[in-house]
Amino acid sequence: MKTRAIILAGGEGSRLGILTAKRAKPAVPFAGKYRIIDFTLSNCVNSGIFDIMVMAQYRPQSLIEHIGAGGPWDLNRDFTGGVRIYTPYKARRPSDWYTGTADAIQQNFSFIKGGHPDQLIILSGDHIYAMDFEAMLTFHADHQADVTMATIRVPIVEASRFGIVGVDPTYRVTSFVEKPAHPPGDMANMGVYLFNLDVLDQALWEDHLREGSTHDFGKDVLPKLVAEGARVFGFPFNGYWVDVGTVTTYWQAHMDLLRDPPSFDLNRRDWIIHTRTEERPPALIQRGANISDCMIADGCLIERGAVIVRSVLSPGVIVRAGAVINESIIFTGTEVKSGAIIQHAVLDKRVVVGEGARIGSLGSGPEPVLAMVGKSSSLPPGIVIEPGSAIGPDVIPADFPEMVVRPGQYVQTRRLPYEV
């Protein structure tokens, strides 16, 4: 059986705030050296799937540059698969921006069925997990399924965030409801689908013609297939999986890496997460720095007296003497100057934090209230960025109306785009 993977990577990711102001959600950095899409790409190649199509849309530049020809994933192949990236296009037939996950597949179906794959595994480009798709392929064949969807148990208090699946003792799906206000169970749809090609072709065409459809797999296509009695089965997955669709889940996924033992192990020798990274020298940690339960990437400089606790630092981060970072995520090339304190915060690339600045607070509520700073912003000395506030990309000290940014406030650059 010939299997082709389709990765949906076109979402705007607006719930990630300033992290997606200048990039697609799957291109958001993760765990110091990776991009979110690296996990899905690595799951494919580690499962022996080397024929991959990526459906991009919103701000695809950084995603295209990151994937390139696919070399880091052994996907730079011309005739035996490889990776190809597709974006919306105008044609004589109706085509436009993708209106839903199913529409993204439908608009590119003439390309997708080229080479005559027998089955298609449809994946999201914004999930953090390690999954052997070979087991799902075997399950699909053993159950003579038309469609197999991966499922995972979630806490019932969170179930309303997911599509909830009901199955019989043979794992055949008997019910499927998308994000119900009152969930009937705790078995969630993971957004990992395995379709026989002919079944998907017919289902997408019918959905394309259906008035009122949002052209989404979870909302429209799968519920209809289940209702019509198609052979839809739920493949149970028991590993770590998280949809990093919000700032809180993104932050929590990083904290999961820092547990002892970690909830998700990046150091598995049998399941390497491949990525494209810049070559940098080893991290330099000076005498007297205090670091605990952290991930520190190459090229970082941690000066004397700095304190870093339960945080993730991407390549090239500089933490000056006496600065404090606690339970935060700091992206590539950021500089934290002396005396600054950063707690429960996410800072994008190339941010400069002025001396004595205070960003965020640990707080005491059940969930963290995070402070965020956008790409290439510069914060003046002594500024206070309170929890729940955000600084947009390219902000400079002159953009701050006062020296305290309060919860709910959003500070953005006042310069014209060509001045940035």
pLDDT of residue 419: 45
Residue 393 has pLDDT above 60, yes or no: yes
Question: Could you tell me what percent of the chain has a pLDDT over 90?
Answer: 74
Tell me what the pLDDT averaged over the chain comes to: 91
pTM: 0.89
| 173-178/187-196 β-pairing | unpaired
Cβ 368 vs Cβ 351: under 8 Å: no
The mean pLDDT value for 18-32 works out to 92
Please choose, from the candidates 112, 2, 96, the residue with its C-alpha nearest in 3D space to the C-alpha of residue 48: 2
Residue 5 tokens, joined: 């993977």
pLDDT of residue 209: 85
Q: In sequence order, what DSSP letters do the residues of 192-212 get, joined into one string?
A: EEEEEHHHHHHHHHHHHH-TT
Contact between residue 390 and residue 408 where contact means Cβ atoms under 8 Å apart? no
Q: Which helix (H) or strand (E) holds 249?
A: helix 247-257
Contact present, 275 and 35 (Cβ < 8 Å): yes
Dihedral sign from CA coordinates of 63, 68, 72, 74: positive
| Token pair in block for residue 39 | 């996990």
Q: Are strands 341-343 and 358-359 parallel, antiparallel or unpaired?
A: parallel
Q: What confidence category does residue 13 fall into, taking pLDDT thresholds of 50, 70 and 90?
A: confident
Residue 420 has pLDDT above 50, yes or no: no
At 129 the pLDDT is 97
Judged by DSSP in three states, 83 sits in strand
pLDDT surpassing 90 at residue 377 = yes
Own/partner pairs for 347-350, CB < 8 Å, 24+ apart? 347/372, 347/373, 348/18, 348/19, 348/372, 348/373, 348/374, 348/375, 348/376, 348/377, 348/393, 349/29, 349/314, 349/375, 349/376, 350/375, 350/376
Q: Coil, strand or helix: which one is 1?
A: coil
- Between CA 282 and CA 261 the distance in angstroms is 25
The four Cα atoms 407, 162, 37, 280 give a dihedral, to 10 degrees, of 40
At 92 the pLDDT is: 46
Closest among 173, 116, 119, 126 to 149, alpha carbons compared:
173
pLDDT range class, residue 171, cuts 50, 70, 90: very high
Residue 396 above 50 pLDDT? Answer: yes
Identify the burial level of 228 via C-beta atoms within 10 angstroms of its C-beta, where 0-12 means exposed, 13-18 middle and 19 or more buried: exposed
pLDDT at 412 over 50: yes
**Is residue 236 scored above 80 in pLDDT?**
yes
More confident residue, 345 or 277: 345
N-term to C-term CA, the chain: 51
DSSP-assigned letter for residue 172: B
Of all helices (H) and strands (E), which one includes residue 98? none
pLDDT greater than 80 at residue 278: no
Least confident of 85-89, 172-176, 346-350: 85-89
Residue 279: Cβ within 10 Å count:
7
Q: How many Cβ atoms from other residues are within 10 Å of residue 213's Cβ?
A: 18
DSSP 8-state symbol, 418: G
pLDDT digits (tens, 9 = 90+) for 349-370: 999 999 999 999 998 777 899 9
Spell out the domains of the chain, with CATH numbers in brackets: 3-257 (3.90.550.10), 284-419 (2.160.10.10)
Cβ atoms within 10 Å of 246's Cβ, excluding its own? 15
Beta strands 187-196; 147-153: pairing state: antiparallel
pLDDT tens, residue by residue, 134-165: 999 999 999 999 999 999 999 999 899 899 99
Chain-centre distance for alpha carbon 255:
15
- 362 φ/ψ sector (left φ>0, alpha ψ -120 to 50, else beta): alpha
